[in-house]
């Protein structure tokens, strides 16, 4: 339910960011996005969000990426009643043809105080991800974005392959240690696994996740910072700390946390290790997660993965 409500808010909430270029031959992928398209004439890449903007007409095109299994839940939740609760009047819902993906296009208007917005929301689903692409423009500026032009832009939507997503990340993994990349998220995160499944229910395969974050805590704050990040790890409950200590990682200051817990979906005991490598203004977080009984045989490979992560 939280995912559904968040999707409705993201797709239909008032976006004040403004959007300007001519149609190009190839899709443009905003920084960190696995989804790209040829934006409508007048739009350029957004400066503060993943998408495009036209400041002259106060129009924006926002791209949001979610896991593949989010598609059905969001599609079922986009009802007239649910949207009306957000001040949205839905004019039309229709299947939208896209190569290699299923998609539904929602068109309508939203009133927020004195402002009335024209909206197009494209829900896209593939085996890699679920995408929400929302274009909005004030009704007073709607002539700059005729329906035909918006549809033509949405029809150019493309999804980067996993190798292309990996190549666009701000870091490289130089030693995969038998793991393989299965998903990149938001241009900052890479998920790797060892096993046949790309999408897992529980920890039946080992996972390794690399994320780049902005900001670097002071030395005396690093332990608290690392434990706080560990507490946000999804899918694991009943965490029990085994150790938490500073550690040099690839010649840089870092911090290691090791803990056990329980897999939320299966109830199986798990073990995890989190490494954080600190830079002057950013950090790299690496988390390895396996079944408890598999950890001893996997730990050295997780360390090899850790040591193979290098900023580009």
- Residue range 192-248, pLDDT digits in tens: 999 888 766 678 899 999 999 998 899 999 999 999 999 999 899 999 999 999 999
What is the residue-averaged pLDDT of the chain? Answer: 89
Listed in sequence order, the residues at least 6 apart from 211 whose beta carbon sits closer than 8 Å to its beta carbon are 188, 189, 190, 284, 285, 286
Residues 147-177: b if buried by 16+ CB within 10 A, e if exposed? eeebeebbebbbbbebeebbebbebebeeeb
Q: Do domains 2-160 and 163-311 have the same CATH topology?
A: yes
On whether the CB atoms of residues 186 and 65 are closer than 8 A, the answer is: yes
On whether the CB atoms of residues 50 and 34 are closer than 8 A, the answer is: no
Of the listed ranges 154-158, 183-187, 283-287, the one predicted with least confidence:
183-187
Rounded to whole angstroms, how far apart are CA atoms 61 and 49?
9
Residue predicted with more confidence, 87 or 291: 291
- Could you tell me the residue ranges of all domains in the chain? 2-160, 163-311
User: What's residue 201's pLDDT?
Assistant: 66
Closest alpha carbon to 277 in 228, 187, 231, 217: 217
Q: End-to-end CA distance of the chain: give it in Å, rounded.
A: 38
The answer to whether residue 127 scores a pLDDT higher than 90 is no
Reported as a pLDDT band with limits 50, 70 and 90, residue 5 is very low
Question: Phi-psi region for residue 104, left (φ > 0), alpha (ψ -120 to 50) or beta?
Answer: beta
Rounded to whole angstroms, how far apart are CA atoms 62 and 58?
13
The answer to whether residue 137 scores a pLDDT higher than 60 is yes
The answer to whether residue 4 scores a pLDDT higher than 70 is no
User: What's residue 168's pLDDT?
Assistant: 86
User: What's residue 199's pLDDT?
Assistant: 67
User: What's residue 155's pLDDT?
Assistant: 97
Residue predicted with more confidence, 129 or 199: 129
Q: Which CATH class is domain 2-160?
A: alpha beta
| Positive or negative: CA dihedral 296, 298, 300, 302 | negative
The answer to whether residue 10 scores a pLDDT higher than 60 is no
Question: Phi-psi region for residue 195, left (φ > 0), alpha (ψ -120 to 50) or beta?
Answer: left
The answer to whether residue 24 scores a pLDDT higher than 50 is no
- The architecture that CATH gives domain 163-311 is 3-Layer(aba) Sandwich (3.40)
pTM: 0.71
Give the DSSP H/E element, type plus range, for residue 304. helix 295-307
């Amino acid at each position: 339910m939280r995912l559904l409500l968040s999707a409705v808010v993201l797709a239909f909430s008032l976006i004040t960011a403004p959007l300007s270029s001519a149609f190009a031959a190839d899709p443009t992928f905003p920084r960190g996005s696995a989804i790209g398209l040829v934006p409508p004439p007048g739009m350029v890449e957004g400066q503060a969000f993943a998408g495009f903007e036209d400041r002259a007409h106060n129009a924006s095109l926002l791209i949001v990426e979610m896991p593949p299994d989010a598609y059905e839940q969001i599609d079922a939740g986009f009802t007239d009643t649910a949207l009306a609760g957000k001040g949205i009047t839905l004019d039309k819902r229709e299947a939208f043809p896209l190569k290699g993906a299923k998609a539904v296009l929602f068109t309508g208007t939203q009133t927020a105080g004195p402002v009335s917005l024209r909206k197009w929301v494209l829900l896209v689903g593939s085996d890699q991800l679920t995408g929400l692409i929302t274009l909005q423009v004030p009704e007073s500026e709607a002539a700059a974005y005729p329906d035909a032009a918006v549809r033509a832009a949405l029809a150019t939507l493309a999804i980067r392959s996993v190798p292309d997503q990996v190549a666009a990340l701000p870091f490289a993994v130089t030693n995969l240690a038998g793991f393989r990349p299965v998903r990149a998220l938001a241009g900052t995160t890479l998920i790797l696994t060892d096993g046949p499944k790309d999408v897992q229910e529980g920890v039946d395969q080992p996972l390794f996740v690399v994320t780049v974050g902005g900001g670097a805590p002071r030395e005396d704050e690093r332990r608290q910072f690392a434990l706080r990040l560990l507490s946000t790890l999804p899918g694991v409950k009943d965490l029990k700390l085994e150790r938490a200590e500073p550690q040099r990682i690839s010649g840089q200051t870092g911090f290691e946390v090791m803990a056990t817990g329980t897999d939320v979906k299966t109830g199986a005991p798990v073990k995890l290790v989190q490494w954080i490598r600190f830079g002057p203004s950013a950090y790299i977080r690496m988390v390895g997660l396996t079944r408890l009984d598999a950890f001893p045989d996997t730990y050295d490979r997780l360390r090899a993965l850790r040591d193979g992560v290098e900023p580009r």
